[in-house]
Structure 1
Amino acid sequence: MVDFTRPSARRPLGALLAGVWGYGCQCDWRVPSAIAARAFASGAVAFGLSVAGSASAQTTPARGSRAAPGRPVVKAGQSKGLETVVVTANRRSQDIQKVPGMVTAISAETMARQHMDSAADVAAFAPNALGYNFDGRLRPRYYIRGVGNGNVANNAVGAVALYADDVYLNSLAFQGFPLFDQAQVAVLNGPQGTLWGKNATAGAIQFTSLRPTFRNDGHAQVDFGDYGQKRGELVLNTPVVKNKLSTRLSVRYEDSDGWARNVQSRKNVGNFGDFATRFQTLWRPNEKVEFLLNLHIRDMQGTNVPYYSAPGISVFSPLKIGSRDWTNTNVNGRQALVSEGASFHTIWHPGAGLTFTSITAFENAQRRQSGDGDYTPQEYSRSYDKLHPTQVSQEFRLASDIHKRISWIAGAYYFHENLHDNYATVTLPPGAATTPAIIGQPAYAATNYTQTTDSFALFANTTIHVTHWFQIAGGVRWTHDHLHLDLESQQALAPVSFSANPANWWNAGSVLSSLTGIDGYHGGRSWSNVSYEVEPQFLLDKNQMLYVRIADGYRSGLFNTQVTPNPVNRGGAPLQKAAAVNPETLSSYEGGYKGSWFDKHLTLSADGFYSKYDNIQVSWTATDAATKSTIISLTNAASGISYGGEFAFQARPLEDLTVSGNVGVLRTKFTDFTAPSGATNLTGNEFARAPHQTANISVDYHYRTPIGDGSIGTHWNYTGHYFYLVSNETASALQQSAVWLGDVHASFRPGNSRWELSGIVSNIAGNRYLVQVLPYSATSQTFTYQYSAPRMFLLSARVDFF
C-alpha cells in the first residue's frame, strides 16, 4: 500500500467525492444481486511489489481540515518543499524515493481533483501504462511496458495484477469497479509478486480504501454533467468505542445517458447506472492487535457501449463519417453486473519486533451481457454471455523488526477460484445474404464450461544493511498452480429453426433443430515455478540512491476456452477447439536513480529496464478463408523482448505551484513467434498496445481571495502510436495514431466553510481515439471499433459534516 503523510491542507474539488443520488438506471434487465468491487483494508504494497516514486505522487490532506483545497501541506519547522510520500513496501514504512523500482502513487486528492470514476482511469498517470474500459466497466484491460491482457476470454489471467485493499482480484468481472472513498492508488511497473499476493509479469495496480478512524468524519457530494451524468456519494465515519471500535460507511451511485444513439432504434447506447457500497469495521482491542472487516456490494445495469463501423468501409453503415453520436445496429445490447465480497484483516504484534498479518477474502459475481454480434443493421449474428466467478483467498505473513541490521519477511498464499461461463451465438430468421449462403442462414452454437483454479505459494525475503552506504535485498517465491476444465460445446444442425418467439434465444430450449456436440474438454493441468528477486542499493547520501533490480516474473498457464464453430459444416469439427496454454515467464533487469534536490523542492526518479519473455501469452486473430469466420485464439509466442526507460519528476518552484510529470520510452519485439493458423511468421513484430512513448504533465496552482481559497490546474496525457493486433496490420482501423488527452479542473471553498464547489472539463480538446478494435469481418464486410469518450464536463458540490 502506498500511504501519504497526513497534511493539514483542505481538500480540493470536493476530495473523495460524496453524496447520494437516487438509484436506478433506465434499464430493466436485472440479474440477482451480488458482485464486487473492492476488498480489504489496511494495506501495503509488499517488497515484492517493488515500488518507487513518481511525479504523479500527491499528498493527501487531513480529513476535515480547513486549509486551502489542493494546497500541499507543510509541517511546522519544515521547508515548504514537497511532502514526503511514504510507502509500506515490504510492510515497512519508507520514503518512496528510497525504494528501488518505479511506481506512480496517486493520492485521494488527485483522484478527487480529476473526478476519477473507474479503476482503469489511473493508468493515464503512469509511464508506459495503458488502461481501457473495454465493454464499459465489464472488462477493463491494463497494459504496463507493452504487456497486458489481450485475451478476450472470460477466464483470462492478466499480466497486470490488480489488488483492492490487499486482495488480489483475478476475474475481469471484479476489476472494473468505481472509485470512491480511496486513500491512494499505486501503479507498479515491472514483474511483481515475488513476495506478496499473486505473481505478475507486467506489473501491479494496488487500490487502497480509506479505513475507519477514531473520530467523527463524513461528507456528501453530488455531481452533474452533460450526457445526463449524475453522481452522488455519502461517507460516514462513526467511532463506537473510543480508540477501540469504529465503522465507516461509503456509498456511491453514478448514472449516465451515454453519448450515442442507435440510428435504427433511436434509443440511447451506453447508458448505465452503477451503485456500490462498502462498510468497514475496525476493532483494536489493545495496542498489539487489530481487526478490520470489509463488506462490499455492487450493482451495475446498462446497455452495451457503442461500437461503430469504420467510416467508408462498411457497406451497411449509411453514416460514413466516423460519427461518435450514432451507431447502426439491429440489436441494442444489454449488460448487468452484480457482486458481493468480504475480507477480514488481522494484524498482531506478538513481541520481539515481530508482526503477524492474516488476510482472508471472498468475492462473488454474476455478469450477463447480450448484444449484436456483427455490429451492423443486418441479422448476421447475436451474442450472449453469462459469467459467474467466485474466489477465496488466504494470506499469512510474519515480519521481523525493520530497524534490525538484518530484517526479513516470510509467508504463504492460497487462492481458489470457481468460474462458470455460458456463451452462445445465434443467427435468427430470416438471416442475411452471404456467400456461401449457408453462412447467413439461421444458426445456433453454445459453449458451457467450468474452470477451477487452485494456487499455492510460499515466499521469503530479507534485507541486509551491509554498510551505511550499501544494502542488499533478496527474495524467493515458490508457486504451484492447478487448473481443471470441464467444457462442452454444441451446434445446431442445418436447417435451424426456433420457437415462435425466441425471446431467450440463448437457451438451447428455444432451438427446435437437433443439437450435436462439437467439442469437449475434461481434464486438468498443473504448473510450478520458482521466482526470485535481488536488489543491491547504493546510498550516495541521505537524499540520493542508485539501485539495480534483477527479478523473475510468472503468469499462470490457463485454457483457451474460445471454441469457434464451423458455420458451413455444421456439426463438424470446429475451427478452433479448447486447449491448454503454457505459463508466461520473464527475466527482468533494471537499474535506476532516486533523489531529491533543493531542499525537497524537486524529486527525480529514473529507471531503465530490459526484459526477456518466454512463452508469451498472446491473442491471435485470423480469418478462415473458407468460411469467412474470425478466429480469436489464445496462444504462446515462443519468446520476445522489451526494453526502455521511465523518468518522473515532481517540483514546487513556488509555494502554491506544483508541477509533475513522467515520460516512458518503450520498444518491444517478438524474437520467435509463429502464429497457430497459416504458420504465419510474426518474428520481429511489435507487441500489441505497446506505444513507443507515453508522457504525463500536471500543473496545479492554489489561489487565495478575500472570500475564499481554491485551486486550478490541468493534466495532459500523451500516448504514442501503437498496433491493436500482434500481426501489426497497417489498416487505419487496426492501429492508433499518437494522441494527447487533457483536462482542466478548478475548485473553490468560501472562507472557512465546509462547502466546496468544483468542476472539470475532460478531453478538453475533443480528441477521438480508439479503445477497442475488432478485425475485418469478411462476412459483414466491416471493421468494428469502440471510441473513447468525447469532451465532457462535470460540476460538483460537496459538504463536510464535521
Structure 2
Amino acid sequence: MPHRSPARRPLAAAILLACAQGSYAQSTAPEPAAAPKLDTVTVTAERRAENIKDVPVSVSTLSGEKLDVLNSGGDDVRFLSGRVPSLNIESSFGRAFPRFYIRGYGNTDFRLNASQPVSLVYDDVVQENPILKGFPVFDLAQVEVLRGPQGTLFGRNTPGGVVKFDSARPRLNKVEGYGSLSYGSFGTTNFEGAVNAPMAEDWALRVSTLVQRRDDWVENTNDAGPTQDLEGYRDAAVRAQVLFQPHKDFSALFNVHARDFDGSARLFRANIIQPGTNDLVAGFDERKISIDGRNESRLTSKGANARLRWGLGDMSLSSITAWETVDAFSRGDIDGGTPAGPGPIPFQVETADGIPKHYQFTQELRLESNTGGPLGWQAGLYYFNEDFRMESFGYDSTSGGVQNAYERSRQKNTAAAAFGALTYAVTPALKVRGGLRYTHDKKDFAVEDYFSPGFGAPATFAELQAAGPTSASLSKSKASWDLSGTYTVSPDLNLYARVANGFRAASVQGAAQFNGQSIAEPETNTSIEAGIKADLFDSRARVAFGVFHYTVKDQQLTAVGGANNANILLNADKTVGQGFELDLQGYLTDSLLATLGVSYNDTKIKDPTLAVATCATCTVTDPRNGSGQALIDGNPLPQAPKWTTSFTLRYGMPLGNGEAFVYTDWAYRSKVNFALYESVEFTGKSLLTGGLRLGYLWGDGKYEAALFGRNITNQIRVTGGIDFNNLTGFVNEPRTWGVQFKASF
C-alpha cells in the first residue's frame, strides 16, 4: 500500500466534512412555495353543504375579496348585477326596491305588492316583499345564485331561481373581527365591521354593522323646487347573531337585524332621450336636474329568526322560525321636469308610495338523513304568512305640492307546503336526485280607501267601487318537482342534467286612478339544462358550462306606463328562453388570477293576440292591433339582455413584508327593452362598467390599504324610462374614486 502523507489527511477530512455539511444544508433548505390552487367551493343549493362540482344545478358564487371589492364603493345590492352569468338587477326606486332577473326572467312591476319569480333568501329566510329584497350586503360568508326553477326545496315564487345570501356565522372559542373604512367621491363613506366574541364555552356572539353615507351631488337648477340637492343618502344596518352549541347533536343560531335608510328616491329626468334614437340628448349633465316636485325616500326594516338543529342518530331535524317587517315611503317628481321643461311635458305628475304596516312570518321544519349511505333524503313542512297595507299619494306640483289623491290597499297572503327530496347513488359514478313540493297559496286583496278628483277618473271610493271590483280572493294549489343526475367521469370532471318545474302564485293589482283591478293567474316554468363541471390543471383552474331551455306557461307580465299611465297585470300564453352559461376561474401564472363569466339568454314572448298600450311620444316598432295597441308576440322579455359578461384579473407580487396587488373587474350587458313593446327610444344601450383597485396587504393579510375606482370609464347610459308623459329616463351611477383601509384581528 502506498504511503499517504500525514499532511494530506487533515485536508482530505476537511473536504469530506465540507461536502457533508453542504449536503446537509441542501437537504434541509426550505422547498419552493407550492403552486397556488383554487379553494374548494361549498354551496347549499340542495339545502346541505356540498362541493359545487357535485351539485346538478347551474350555480355561481361570490365571496371573499371579489365581494369586498364590489362592495367597497358604498353601492347597494345592485352591484351584483352582471357579476355572475345571467343575473340582472335594476330598480326604478333607487336603493329601496331592487328587481332581480335570472336568464331574462323577472318582473318589472313597480307596485309594492309585486311578486317576483326570482326569490331572495337571506340566512335561509325568504324576503318576499320587494322592499325587503334591498337589505344591504355586508359580513357575508357567500352569495349563491341558483339558476332555473328552485320550487322543490326553496318554494315561494322561485320559478326563475334564487339569490341566496349567507351571513358569516358566529364561531365558538375564537375572538376575531374586522373593520373596513373607505372614503371617496361625493363625500362617500362606507364602514363595515364585525366582531366575533365567545360568551362561554358553548356560546358565541357575532355583531356586524354597515354604515354608508353620500353627500348630495345632483343640483336642482329650478330654484323654486322644494328639494334642491339630491342623490345623497344615509344607509345603516346591523345584525347580531348568537350561537349556542352545547354538543355536536344540537345547535341554535339566533339572528336579529335592522336597517334604517334615508335618502333620495330615483331621479326621473324629463326628455333626456333624443327623439328617434336611444341616445342621451346633447349636453346631458348627470349632475343637474330641473324638477318642481319633492324627492325623498326613507325606510326602516327589522327582523329576527331562530335556526335550530337537532342530531337524531341517523337523521337531523331543522327548524327555521322567522319574522320580518318593513316601513317605507318614497316620493318623487315622476314627469321629471317643470311646466317650463326641459322639453315638452304635457302635465305635471308627483306621486308617492309607502308601506305603513307590514308583517311576514315564516316557519319551516325539515328532516334529513345523515347516514352517508347511497340513499339520502329530505322532507319538510313550510308555512308563510304576510299581511301589509300600501298607500299611494298624488300631489299637485304647481300648487306647492298639495296632496290631491290617495289610495290605501291591504294584501294578506298565506301559503302552506309539504316537500321531499331523494338522492340515490345508482353506481359509484352515477347519482340521481328527485324532489316534489305541494303548495297551497291564498291571497286576499282589497282597496280600503280612495279619493282622486280630476283627470276624469273615479273621484271617490264609491265611484271606484261602481266602476268595477276593488277586492279579490285568489286561491291555488300546485305541485312543483325536479329530477336531476350527476355522472362522475373522473375525480375532476362531472356531467349533470336537470329538468325542473316551478310556479309563481297569482297576483293582483288594485283598481286605481288610471286603471281597473287586474289579476294574473299562476304561472309555471319547466326548464331543462345540462352541463359539465370540472377542476383543471391540478385545481389551478375550474370551469362550469351549461346549456338550458325553459318554457313559462301563463307568464305574469306587467304592462307598465303607456300613454294612460296604467299598471296592468297580464298573462302571456307562454314565454320561451334558451341559452348557455360559462363560469371560468384559474391561475394564469402563480401571481395572476383571472375569472370569466359569460351568458347568452334568448327570450321570446309567444302570444299572437297579446297587445299592450304604448308610450305617449316614442317611436314604436311593433305592429298594432285595431285598437292601436302594440302586438308583442316575438318580443324579448323586458330587462333581459341577450349577453352578459363579467371579467376579473388580479396580479400580486411580494413587496417588503407584504404583497402589492392590482385588481380590475368588468361587467357588460347588451341592450335591453324597458317595456313589453319595442321602441327606438326606450331600448337601453349596452352597458360596460369597470373597476380598478391598487392595494397593499401586510401582516399575514390582516391589513390592507387600497385606492379604488368604480365605473372608471364614466360610461353613462339610460337604464330605465317612464313612457306615459314624455321621454323621461334615469341613468346609472357615474365614475367614483376612493381610498380604503381594512384591518382584521
How high is the TM-score relative to the length of structure 1? Answer: 0.81
Q: What's the counterpart of residue 662 of structure 1? A: 597
Q: What's the counterpart of residue 96 of structure 1? A: 52
Deviates more, 1:181-190 or 1:79-88: 79-88
Q: What's the counterpart of residue 527 of structure 1? A: 476
For the 8 Å contact 1:488–1:517, the answer to whether it is kept is: no
For the 8 Å contact 1:101–1:607, the answer to whether it is kept is: no
How far the C-alpha of 1:271 sits from its partner, in A, is 0.8
User: Secondary structure in 2 aligned to 1:536?
Assistant: strand
The correspondence for 1:167, drawn from 122, 125, 136, is 125
Q: What's the counterpart of residue 546 of structure 1? A: 495
User: Secondary structure in 1 aligned to 2:678?
Assistant: coil
Deviates more, 1:327-336 or 1:668-677: 668-677
Q: What's the counterpart of residue 476 of structure 1? A: 436
Unpaired runs of 5+ residues, structure 1, are 1-75, 433-441, 497-512, 566-574
How far the C-alpha of 1:313 sits from its partner, in A, is 5.6
How far the C-alpha of 1:616 sits from its partner, in A, is 0.9
Once residues 469 and 640 of structure 1 are traced to their aligned partners in structure 2, the CA distance between those partners, rounded to angstroms, is 36
Q: What's the counterpart of residue 686 of structure 2? A: 738
2:728 maps to 1:784: yes
Once residues 379 and 452 of structure 2 are traced to their aligned partners in structure 1, the CA distance between those partners, rounded to angstroms, is 54
The correspondence for 2:610, drawn from 674, 685, 688, is 674
Q: What's the counterpart of residue 221 of structure 1? A: 180
Unpaired runs of 5+ residues, structure 2, are 1-31, 340-346, 614-626
Taking the TM superposition and a 5 Å limit, the aligned residue runs for 1:151-230 are: 151-214=109-172, 215-230=174-189
Q: What's the counterpart of residue 419 of structure 1? A: 388
Taking the TM superposition and a 5 Å limit, the aligned residue runs for 1:476-625 are: 476-488=436-448, 490-493=450-453, 517-519=463-465, 521-561=470-510, 563-565=511-513, 575-621=514-560, 623-624=562-563
For the 8 Å contact 2:519–2:569, the answer to whether it is kept is: no
Residues 515, 90 of structure 1: CA spacing in aligned structure 2 closer, same or farther, 3 A cutoff? closer
The correspondence for 2:709, drawn from 733, 755, 761, is 761
2:267 maps to 1:301: no
The correspondence for 2:652, drawn from 692, 702, 706, is 702
Once residues 206 and 321 of structure 2 are traced to their aligned partners in structure 1, the CA distance between those partners, rounded to angstroms, is 19
Once residues 403 and 156 of structure 2 are traced to their aligned partners in structure 1, the CA distance between those partners, rounded to angstroms, is 41
2:296 maps to 1:334: yes
How far the C-alpha of 1:301 sits from its partner, in A, is 0.6
Q: Deviation per CA, 1:199-227, whole angstroms, max 9, x where unpaired?
A: 41111100111111121112222211011
Q: What's the counterpart of residue 237 of structure 1? A: 196
Amino acid at match of 1:114: L
Q: Deviation per CA, 1:720-758, whole angstroms, max 9, x where unpaired?
A: 112111101222xx0112221111112213455843212
Structure number with bigger Rg: 2
For the 8 Å contact 1:123–1:187, the answer to whether it is kept is: no
2:86 maps to 1:123: no
Once residues 146 and 45 of structure 2 are traced to their aligned partners in structure 1, the CA distance between those partners, rounded to angstroms, is 11
Deviates more, 1:110-119 or 1:664-673: 110-119
Once residues 529 and 582 of structure 2 are traced to their aligned partners in structure 1, the CA distance between those partners, rounded to angstroms, is 13
Taking the TM superposition and a 5 Å limit, the aligned residue runs for 1:214-363 are: 214=172, 215-242=174-201, 244-265=202-223, 267-311=228-272, 321-352=283-314, 354-363=315-324
For the 8 Å contact 1:260–1:306, the answer to whether it is kept is: no
For the 8 Å contact 1:491–1:517, the answer to whether it is kept is: no
Residues 326, 402 of structure 1: CA spacing in aligned structure 2 closer, same or farther, 3 A cutoff? farther
For the 8 Å contact 1:399–1:409, the answer to whether it is kept is: yes
Once residues 612 and 729 of structure 2 are traced to their aligned partners in structure 1, the CA distance between those partners, rounded to angstroms, is 25
How far the C-alpha of 1:552 sits from its partner, in A, is 0.3
For the 8 Å contact 2:151–2:481, the answer to whether it is kept is: no
For the 8 Å contact 1:348–1:356, the answer to whether it is kept is: yes
Once residues 682 and 221 of structure 1 are traced to their aligned partners in structure 2, the CA distance between those partners, rounded to angstroms, is 49
Q: What's the counterpart of residue 390 of structure 1? A: 359
2:717 maps to 1:774: no
Residues 186, 258 of structure 1: CA spacing in aligned structure 2 closer, same or farther, 3 A cutoff? farther
Deviates more, 1:262-271 or 1:99-108: 262-271
Once residues 723 and 452 of structure 2 are traced to their aligned partners in structure 1, the CA distance between those partners, rounded to angstroms, is 26
Deviates more, 1:176-185 or 1:746-755: 746-755
Deviates more, 1:532-541 or 1:264-273: 264-273
How far the C-alpha of 1:141 sits from its partner, in A, is 1.1
Residues 794, 239 of structure 1: CA spacing in aligned structure 2 closer, same or farther, 3 A cutoff? same
Q: Deviation per CA, 1:378-428, whole angstroms, max 9, x where unpaired?
A: 372221222133100011110002621111011111111012001021335
Once residues 258 and 560 of structure 1 are traced to their aligned partners in structure 2, the CA distance between those partners, rounded to angstroms, is 35
Once residues 49 and 701 of structure 2 are traced to their aligned partners in structure 1, the CA distance between those partners, rounded to angstroms, is 34
Residues 408, 205 of structure 1: CA spacing in aligned structure 2 closer, same or farther, 3 A cutoff? same
Q: What's the counterpart of residue 63 of structure 1? A: none
How far the C-alpha of 1:329 sits from its partner, in A, is 0.4
How far the C-alpha of 1:553 sits from its partner, in A, is 1.5
For the 8 Å contact 2:45–2:146, the answer to whether it is kept is: no
Q: Deviation per CA, 1:77-119, whole angstroms, max 9, x where unpaired?
A: 9863222111234333322112122211101322112335422
Once residues 216 and 138 of structure 1 are traced to their aligned partners in structure 2, the CA distance between those partners, rounded to angstroms, is 34
How far the C-alpha of 1:344 sits from its partner, in A, is 0.3
Residues 443, 270 of structure 1: CA spacing in aligned structure 2 closer, same or farther, 3 A cutoff? closer
Q: Deviation per CA, 1:305-333, whole angstroms, max 9, x where unpaired?
A: 3221233769xxx9863221111101231
How far the C-alpha of 1:522 sits from its partner, in A, is 3.0
Once residues 274 and 596 of structure 1 are traced to their aligned partners in structure 2, the CA distance between those partners, rounded to angstroms, is 40
Residues 403, 337 of structure 1: CA spacing in aligned structure 2 closer, same or farther, 3 A cutoff? same
User: Secondary structure in 2 aligned to 1:793?
Assistant: strand
Q: Deviation per CA, 1:95-147, whole angstroms, max 9, x where unpaired?
A: 21121222111013221123354222223211121112432211111111111
Q: What's the counterpart of residue 408 of structure 1? A: 377
Structure of higher RCO (CA pairs closer than 8 Å, 6+ residues apart): 1
User: Secondary structure in 2 aligned to 1:642?
Assistant: strand
User: Secondary structure in 2 aligned to 1:518?
Assistant: helix
Once residues 438 and 252 of structure 2 are traced to their aligned partners in structure 1, the CA distance between those partners, rounded to angstroms, is 29
Deviates more, 1:284-293 or 1:233-242: 233-242
For the 8 Å contact 1:621–1:632, the answer to whether it is kept is: yes
Q: What's the counterpart of residue 12 of structure 1? A: none
Residues 162, 495 of structure 1: CA spacing in aligned structure 2 closer, same or farther, 3 A cutoff? closer
Amino acid at match of 1:739: L
Taking the TM superposition and a 5 Å limit, the aligned residue runs for 1:713-752 are: 713-731=663-681, 734-752=682-700
Q: Deviation per CA, 1:473-512, whole angstroms, max 9, x where unpaired?
A: 111110110000121453344599xxxxxxxxxxxxxxxx
Give the share of equivalent positions with the same residue, in percent.
26
Residues 347, 400 of structure 1: CA spacing in aligned structure 2 closer, same or farther, 3 A cutoff? same
2:60 maps to 1:107: no
Deviates more, 1:483-492 or 1:198-207: 483-492
Q: What's the counterpart of residue 381 of structure 1? A: 349
Pairwise CA RMSD: 2.4
The correspondence for 1:712, drawn from 650, 662, 670, is 662
- Number of matched pairs: 676
For the 8 Å contact 2:127–2:133, the answer to whether it is kept is: yes
How far the C-alpha of 1:263 sits from its partner, in A, is 1.1
Once residues 756 and 593 of structure 1 are traced to their aligned partners in structure 2, the CA distance between those partners, rounded to angstroms, is 37
Residues 204, 752 of structure 1: CA spacing in aligned structure 2 closer, same or farther, 3 A cutoff? closer
Amino acid at match of 1:799: A
Q: Deviation per CA, 1:664-684, whole angstroms, max 9, x where unpaired?
A: 011111111512654643211
How high is the TM-score relative to the length of structure 2? Answer: 0.87
Q: Deviation per CA, 1:700-722, whole angstroms, max 9, x where unpaired?
A: 12221124223221111110112
How far the C-alpha of 1:174 sits from its partner, in A, is 0.8
